[in-house]
Structures are given as structure tokens and as C-alpha cells.
Amino acid sequence: MAISKLTNYKLSSFFEEQREKNKEKRLNTQMNLLETPIEYLKGVGPQRGDLLRKELGIHKYADLLNLFPNRYIDRTRYYKINELQNSNSEVQIVGKIINIKTVEQGKGRSRLVATFVDDTGQMELVWFQGQKWIRESIKINIPYVIFGKVTQFGATYNMAHPEMELLEEHKASLRSAMQPVYPSTEKLANKGISNKVINKMMQQLFVETQALFSENLPNYLLDELKLIPKNAALFNIHFPKSQDLLAKAQFRLKFEELFFIQLQLITKNLIRKHKIKGMPFERVGENFTDFYNNHLPFDLTNAQKRVLKEIRNDLGSNAQMNRLLQGDVGSGKTIVALMCMLLAKDNGFQSCLMAPTEILANQHFNGITELAKELNITIKILTGSTKTAERKIIHEALENGTLDILIGTHALLEDKVQFHNLGLAIIDEQHRFGVEQRSKLWKKNDVPPHVLVMTATPIPRTLAMSLYGDLDISVIDELPPGRKPIQTVHRYDSNRLKVWKFLKDEIAKGRQVYIVYPLIQESEKMDYKDLMDGYESISRDFPLPQYSISIVHGKMKPTDKDEEMRRFSEGKTNIMVATTVIEVGVNVPNASVMVIESAERFGLSQLHQLRGRVGRGAEQSYCILMTSHKLSNDSKIRMETMVRTNDGFEISEVDLKLRGPGDIMGKQQSGVLNLQIADLVKDKEILQLARHHAIKLLKDDAPMEKPEHSKLREAFIELSKKKTIWNYIS
């Protein structure tokens, strides 16, 4: 069917005609057509097909169909020449070229200039490149539609390198008033695959498929949410006739993408709860009760009590627990973890806690050993530094069941590490572990252990619903009593003398100070120099014997690093000069000031994590953000946010807006959120709506076996086969 013929139909009547012609058979044909390799589309061919595969991941017709525009240029209005203004904006005009000439510019350069007229005046069109081809292809005194940016020289307006189309072809083409701009790459542009070429490919795709695509959402959902049909949505996302139709198409396709993700995540959760039987912890025994009644170092907060209740309910059921515990720095996750492990012990099971670094594993080990010192339980630590003789003792105690709690790093995943009866696995900062690493831990037992995932990196609600939508989520959202909020200030380098005086005043009160320098791998040498220069400068300003300084950085041997940290922890040094190795794992209640040098080079979540190293004692603590005067807008927002709030969840929301979801989750998870059209920052209301309706549907018909869910089920099964977002979830 020719493009001109296709556009003669109104969209609605076009779809009505198609429905009448053997609907089911035609739909199946079109769906098979979408699996066709992209090189078979008219106008593509093997060379272009290869480029589209490599540059944009377009392998078949369906991939091109789901290449959604980044933005749209408004082509709804045609300007007259006498309406033009010197605004540097893009406009389109209908008129004729009445003459064309080459103007010499000296030094062998020239430009091609055409006089373009309409019934209100005249202007100039200018080309600096491709002059020979343009001169040969231009038709004099034939109506054109031109489009581009207008500039003014004297009394004359001109447009450089305009997009041009004969008015007759412009009217005939399958063209939208809102012109789409598609994702592209430099390589595609260099090989002549411009936005215009991709647009023509898209037109050809709609011609070959006759714009007939299978609906996969149930009718009652379309009616309830007033969603336009799939056909209309795909047509209007690529060829929108108005802003209103474009908005409806975007809403429909964003909802569908997020709805299927939520269906998958919630289904995984339901399947696990029904199929993966857990080991019920049926009793609250003497270890838990003795600790709660006699050895708690402070009263639990209401948030800690609520979270413990949620975890106890999970552990007492017949299903395997798979819960995410979010809690800001210093909110008391460790004590909750210990109480869960005591429940395991009371029910005859072993527990393990896995942390991403030795520093953090040691911190957990020291903290939990101290908390449990009055209890009759055995606790060991296993890391890469554990000596062979000690490893052998740990392995034997694990296998014969005399070891109750094992804390460690990746060393816990080694094949030699075998438990007698692992009942609870706790993972701290799980986003630092790969999926395969985590799954190794589950396989240490015939029956999968209960799983508690902990993070001190607050995750925005939208990310939590998408990345961890298959886990149940608990949040500790209050700090233990007696903790004073950390006072945060932003100071420029020019204020350094005043900052140094403040540090000396704090040290005189018996307090200790962190001074942190950034470490960015790409410029490690420069950063090391910054650190050493800073250390020398601080040594001059804080001289011996009145002051003593520790230094810690990534180039040091682990034993030297541990020694320096120990000296600071024991109060033998006043100042700790360090890189970000102290982001996690250092707990010195007497340290009351954190100075962060070149704070503009840190991300928000890292600044918040670093700040959490102070404020652990009863005294007032401070965080001083030092920067140069030259700050980008994003850096200014980061500094203002840190000064304004200590709330990790609020900070994480700002961070999400500034950096995007892929960056927040780090390299290991960055591919997880390559959504085709939805945006987790901008579309959180649509995400919440999608999750609500996914839960509602699965409560009513979890297997999706009702007749009205047949198409939904087909699409769900197809999507589940692909390695998309949900295959990477914990």
C-alpha cells in the first residue's frame, strides 16, 4: 500500500477496515512480520542493517518499531516571511526559489545563496557545503516546504542548510505535525543514516505491517484508565498529529512497559512464597529473649521494632523470606541483624553475614561480638586475610554445627565453605555483589535459607519498586535516641584558615577529625598527589607534638592501613587524612568533624555516606564541605542539598534526578534500567499506577487464565523469555 494511499484514511477508519478483514489471521501475520530481520525492510539492506544492529541494537522489525523518539520538533505551524523574528528558533515556511547564485568569499571559499519568496516577502537560503549537488537538485519556481533556524543580517533573514521538501511530496508523505527526533550515533550520521532516513524507514515499516499490531492489555484496563489502543499508541508515538495524541500515546506505552515489569516482579515474589518453602523459625527462644531483656545497649526505636516484627512474621511462615532492609547510616541495622541471627540460633540454625569489603566485615564482626559477649554463642570471621590454620577450624566448626554465626566477605562463597544447616543469610550492601555471587550463597543448603538484604544507601521509592520489586521491603526511618543531627556547612577554599581554627578548637575539646580527599580511578596519580600534598600541608598546620596524624589510602598494604585505622580508633592520633576508603567501615564515636576536600568531585550518595562516619557519639558533630568557587549547577545543588537535609531518602531522590537510575546503581546494575520509553524519575506516578494494577490483577487471576487475560498472558510469556530488567533482579 503506497504511503500516499495510507494517509488518505483517517486513523480510526483505517483501523476499523482492518478489523473487518479476518482480524485474527491478519494479526498473527503482522506479529510474525515483526520478527523479520531489519535488512529486509525496503530501503535498509545488508550494510545499513549491520550498522543499525551495531549502533542501536536494531535486529528486526519489532526493534525498529520500539525505537521511540527522544524528542519532537513542532511542525504544526507554517510561518510567513513577514512574521519572522530574529529569535534563532526553528520555523517552516512554504514558498518558491526564484534564483540561485554562487557568492565568492575569498581564499578559494564560496557559498551558495538562493532567493526564497512567498506572498509576503523574500529571504535567503544559504549553503556552505554540498553546493554542486544542491544546485543541480533544486527546482526553480516550484513550491517547497523549508525548515530550519532563521537568523537576521541587516534587513534580510536567512536560513543556513535548510531541510527542504517539495510541497507536493510533503502533503503526500506519512508525516506527523510533531516531527520525531530519534536516538542516533556519530557513526550513523557519518554513514548517511540521518534522522530523516530513520523516519522514512519507520514510514516503510508502517506500510509493510499496515499499522496493525496486537493488543496485549485487557479491555477493562483500557476502559478504566482511558488508554488508547496499542495500534493508535504506536502510530501516534511515531507520527503524532497533535500534542494531545502524542501525550496519550506516551502515557499508554509508558504504562504498558512499567506494568509488565511489575507483573514479572510481583509474580516472582508470589511464586517464591508459594513454591520455595522456607524453614519456619517457630519459637522465640532464650538467646533472643535474654538479649532483648538484659543486654540491649539502648532501647530500640519504633522503626527497629516495626522492622523486627515484619522479619519475625516472615521467618515464622512456611515461605522463604526475601526481604530488603533499608536504613540510613547509623540507624541501627546491625542490631536488627544480630537479633534475627539469634532467632535462627534459637531454632537450631546457623547464620551468615556477607559484606563487600574486609573493613566492613571486620566492623560487623567487632560490633556483633561486642553486643553478644554475654550470650552463649560462637561467632567467627572469614576473609581473604584469614590464615590457613584458622580457616580449617572455621570449616570444621561450620560443618559439625558448633559455629553459630559466620561473618565474612566473598570468602564465604568458596566451595570449601559448607554449613551444617544454614537458616539465615544476610547480605550487606548487596548491590556490590553480582547475581551469580549471591546465588552461590543460597546453594549452600538443601533448603534455601531465609535472605535478608541490607543497605545503608537509601534507595528512592521508584527505584526500589523497580530494582527490588520482587523483595519485601522494610525501612528503618529514624535514628537511635540521643543522636544529634550532624550540622553541615559549605565553605570555599578561601575560608580555610577559619576552618583550620575550628578544627583546632574541636581537637582541644578532645575530639577527633577526618579530612577526606577524593579518589577517582581515571586520575589516580593526580589524586594520590592531591592527598600527599594535603597531608604535608596539614602536617605543617597541625605540627607535632601537639597534634598527631594518621593517613590511609588505597596504595597502602592492608596491614599498614589497619594499623593506622587502629591508632585513630584508639585515640592515639587526632586527625585521619584519607581517601574514600573510609566511606564504610570506620566507627569512631569520638570523631566529631568530617572535612571533605574538593566536595564538588563527589556524588551526593557518597557525600552522605562519608558524613555518616561522624555523629556516632553523643556530642554535636559537623561536616564541612570544602570546594573551589567555580561550581557547576549540579555541584551547587549537591552542596545545597547536603547543607539542607540529613535525610538519606530525600538526598537519594535529588541524586536520582541529577544522575539517573543507571549511575546510582553503579556499573554492575547500570544495564538493568535501559527502559525503552518510561523514565523512573519523571514517570513515578505512572509506575505507582502500574504497580497498583499489577497487584490487583494478580490477586484476582495470578495464572492469567481468564479469557480476558489471554493476550496479556501470551505477551507476558514472550517478554519473560528475554533478558530484560527483571532477569537481573535479586
pLDDT in tens, 447-476: 788 989 888 777 776 677 666 666 788 888
Q: Is the peptide bond before 356 cis (omega within 30 degrees of 0)?
A: no
Q: Note the pLDDT of residue 668.
A: 39
- Region of poorest pLDDT, from 92-96, 334-338, 609-613: 609-613
Single out the residue of 320, 375, 620, 637 nearest to residue 488, CA to CA.
620
Residue 3 banded pLDDT, cuts 50, 70, 90: very low
| Lowest mean per-residue pLDDT among 115-119, 243-247, 411-415, 586-590 | 586-590
How far apart are the C-alpha atoms of 244 and 150, rounded to whole Å? 28
How far, CA to CA in Å, does 455 sit from each of 280, 353, 355, 366, 648? 25, 13, 10, 19, 12
| 460 vs 203, more confident | 203
Please check the confidence at residue 437 and state whether its pLDDT lies above 80: no
> Average pLDDT, stretch 188-196?
87
Please check whether residue 639 is in contact with residue 490, taking contact to mean a CB–CB distance below 8 angstroms.
yes
pLDDT at 581 over 70: no
- Is 98's pLDDT higher than 50? yes
Residue 462 has what pLDDT? 66
Mean pLDDT across 95-120: 92
- Cβ atoms of residues 257 and 676 within 8 Å: yes
Report CA-CA distances (Å) from 232 to 153, 212, 253, 611.
45, 9, 11, 51
Tell me what pLDDT residue 722 has: 66
CB 574 within 8 A of CB 549: yes
pLDDT at 64 over 90: yes
11-27 mean pLDDT = 51
Name the pLDDT band for 438 (thresholds 50, 70, 90): low
Per-residue model confidence (pLDDT) at position 730: 39
3-state helix/strand/coil string of 33-74: HCCCEHHHCCCCHHHHHHHHHHHHCCCEHHHHHCCCCCEEEE
pLDDT at 392: 94
Instruction: Tell me: pLDDT of 584 over 60.
Output: no
Region 646-666: what's the mean pLDDT? 72
Chain-centre distance of CA 549, in angstroms?
39
pLDDT above 70 covers what percent of the chain?
Answer: 86
CB atoms within 10 A of CB 600: 20
Are 280 and 330 in contact by the 8 Å Cβ rule? The answer is no
pLDDT of residue 324: 87
Is pLDDT at 431 greater than 60 in this prediction?
A: no
Helix (H, G, I), strand (E, B) or coil at 330: coil
Phi, psi of 6 (to 5 degrees): -60, -40
- For the cut 60, the answer to whether the pLDDT of residue 14 exceeds it is no
The band of 664, judged by pLDDT with boundaries at 50, 70 and 90, is: very low
Phi, psi angle pair for 624, to nearest 5°: -115, 120
For position 5, what pLDDT does the model report? 44
Residue 729 is predicted with a pLDDT of 38
- In this predicted structure, the answer to whether residue 666 has a pLDDT above a threshold of 60 is no
| 129-149 per-position pLDDT tens digit | 888 889 999 999 999 999 988
The pLDDT > 90 percentage for the chain reads: 45
pLDDT at 175: 64
Chain segment 508-540, per-residue pLDDT in tens = 999 999 999 886 444 555 555 677 888 888 999
Average pLDDT over every residue of 381-404: 93
Lowest mean pLDDT among 9-23, 223-237, 356-370: 9-23
In the prediction, which pLDDT does 362 show? 86
Give, for 127, the enclosing helix (H) or strand (E): strand 121-127
Q: Taking residues 581-586, report their average pLDDT.
A: 59
The sign of the CA dihedral 127, 129, 135, 139 is negative
- Mean pLDDT score of the chain: 84
Q: Are 422 and 279 in contact (CB under 8 A)?
A: no
Whole-angstrom Cα distance, residue 706 to residue 710? 7
- Mean pLDDT, range 36-58, rounded to an integer: 93
As a whole number of Å, the end-to-end CA separation of the chain is 48
Q: In terms of pTM, does the model score above 0.85?
A: no
Q: What angle do CA 510, 513, 514 make, to 5 degrees?
A: 160
Please state, in angstroms and rounded to a whole number, the distance separating the CA atoms of residues 127 and 86.
19
- Of 72-76, 161-165, 624-628, 721-725, the range with the lowest mean pLDDT is 721-725
pLDDT score recorded for residue 31:
57
- 277 in Cβ contact with 318 (< 8 Å): yes
Q: Is residue 580 within 8 Å of residue 531, measured between CB atoms?
A: no
Question: Is it the case that residue 565 has pLDDT exceeding 70?
Answer: yes
Whole-angstrom CA distances from 266 to 33, 449, 617, 709 are 32, 20, 41, 17
